[in-house]
Chain A
Amino acid sequence: MVEQKLMGLNGDEAVAYATKQVNPDIVAAYPITPQTIIVERFSEYVADREVDTEFVAVESEHSAMSSCVGASAAGARAFTATAANGLALMWEIVYIASSLRLPIVMAVVNRALSGPINIHNDHSDTMGARDSGWIQIYCENAQEVYDASIAAWRIAEHLKVQLPVMVCLDGFTLSHTMENVMTLPDETVQRFVGDRPFIEVEGHMGKGELRLNPEMPLTMGPLDLQDFYYEHKIHQVDAMEQALKYMKDVDEEWTKVSGRSYKYVEPYLMEDAEVALIGMGSMMGTVRHMVDDLRAEGVKAGMVKLRLFRPFPVDAIKKAIGDVPVLGVMEKCISFGAPASPLMEELMTVYYHDKEKPMIANYVVGLGGRDVSPDMIREAYKSLAKIKKTGKVDKLSTYIGVRGD
């Protein structure tokens, strides 16, 4: 294994540095808090000629994603980064990118969606984009951000996948917090990502690569009505299933290169756990800490960190959850008017037909950047212990850390 360099990077810088090493053909981005550092750092790399990338300073996120779609369709590696309202502004093109099967990589620095306006972290932005057909990876720390920002290209461009990828990192908690990050040499990253491969498609002029080429014209993004649209949506369903199958190959290859191993779902002390929390992102570090504290107090606590949300890794999740009797779902998101938050609903769905399943309760935390403190996590575990004792879930959703009952 090659020697790695320890760097002090915050989450945003980890994205920028990894992307510099990937050296994509185009970066089209608009600055928005808390993603700004990514764009700032990367434009410095461009100015200093440390990359060959064409930097497109667009006037909005709608244009950023549009530029990425155009460039990616032409065969380029296209990268962008955004957060919250920026993601909302690029919305229609986000769906177009995935339906055209363009392997764009986008870092989304999770921030609360307005309004009222708030710049701090929760998952309302990317959870809203969960049906957009993008792969979504949620990171716990800056190291994961660095690693995911490189592996994402291979996942997106995998010939069986061909889908855009969102690398999600929590605003400020990760984006602006400096951590130790082990980084690989540029040439190792370059060798790992290689050249962008293309799938073969049949166009009106015959067979050719799925890219715009004047020698072999293709019609991309035509009007697609009652007679074909549905089939093309099933293509996207299939692509997600393929992604679930092949992403682990990329993760394993990355482990060989970096020595760091990643799974879709990462359980912690779940073998004999009686109460457990599942969730995503940086708060899971605090949950792990609380699990240790509770174990020291004699509580059989466990936790499951979900790294991959799209595609939803059903089998891996069930395996990680195992036979824990009570499961709490911790989420930084509310689906207004819904019976519960998104992750909770999906977990309930995958367990519905099972005879053996945990009792499941939803705990909403940390909206608009409100700190997810160890005490709040302890409160969730206490609530789970009560459910275990009484044998019933009184409240499907609990809002932890909000003032008032």
Chain B
Amino acid sequence: MSKERTWQELPKGAVSYRSSMEYKTGDWGVDAPKIDHDKCVKCNMCHFYCPEGCIHVEEDGTPVPDLEYCKGCGICAKECPVKAIEMVRK
């Protein structure tokens, strides 16, 4: 059991008082994407396909996976048209 609030301290109606941003789901993953930036053509397909929305795109188009939330599903690696993403053990 966690050291969370008592029932008196919790908001009524089972409303969530914390944001899911606080819930780092990255540790669910077994594998994590590793991007070979030499191969990457910055098409951003990985960004669009990521079901967690956790591959960000930098201003120059470089995709950056956020491993704090990445669950390691591997969809980015599967969809990458130039095979620039490899799933590696965390």
Q: Which residues of A contact B (CB under 8 A)?
A: 99-102, 162, 199, 201-205, 210, 218-222, 224, 226-228, 231-232, 234-235, 238-239
Contacts and interface: CB of A to CB of B under 8 A. Distances in A.
Nearest to A208: B15
Nearest to A232: B14
Given A204-B18, A204-B19, A228 B13 contact: no
A222 B16 contact: yes
B4 interface: yes
A205 to B, nearest CB: 8
Interface in B11-62: 11-20
A235 B10 contact: yes
A293 to B, nearest CB: 49
Contacts of B17: 201-204
Interface of B: 1-2, 4-7, 10-20
A201 B10 CA distance: 9
A219 B14 CA distance: 9
22 contacts: A100-B14, A101-B13, A102-B13, A199-B12, A201-B12, A201-B13, A203-B15, A204-B17, A204-B19, A210-B13, A210-B15, A220-B14, A222-B16, A224-B14, A227-B1, A227-B4, A228-B14, A231-B6, A231-B10, A232-B7, A235-B7, A235-B10
A69 to B, nearest CB: 12
Contacts of B7: 231-232, 234-235, 238
B51 to A, nearest CB: 17
Nearest to B11: A201
A239 B8 CA distance: 12
Given A201-B11, A203-B11, 10 more contacts: A101-B12, A201-B17, A202-B15, A204-B19, A205-B19, A218-B16, A220-B14, A227-B2, A228-B14, A235-B12
Contacts of A226: 1
A162 B19 contact: no
A203 B19 CA distance: 8
Contacts of A234: 7
A98 B15 CA distance: 13
Nearest to B3: A227
B64 to A, nearest CB: 25
B15 A218 contact: yes
Nearest to B18: A204
A99 B12 CA distance: 9
Contacts of B20: 204
Contacts of B16: 203-204, 218-219, 222
A239 B22 CA distance: 30
A231 B8 CA distance: 8
A162 B12 contact: yes
A99 B14 CA distance: 7
A232 B10 contact: yes
A201 B16 CA distance: 10
B14 A222 contact: yes
A195 to B, nearest CB: 19
A95 to B, nearest CB: 12
B44 to A, nearest CB: 28
A209 B89 CA distance: 45
| Max chain A C-beta neighbours (<10 A), residue from B4, B6, B15, B19 | B15
Contacts of A220: 13-15
Nearest to A99: B14
A201 B6 contact: no
Nearest to B13: A101
A231 B16 CA distance: 13
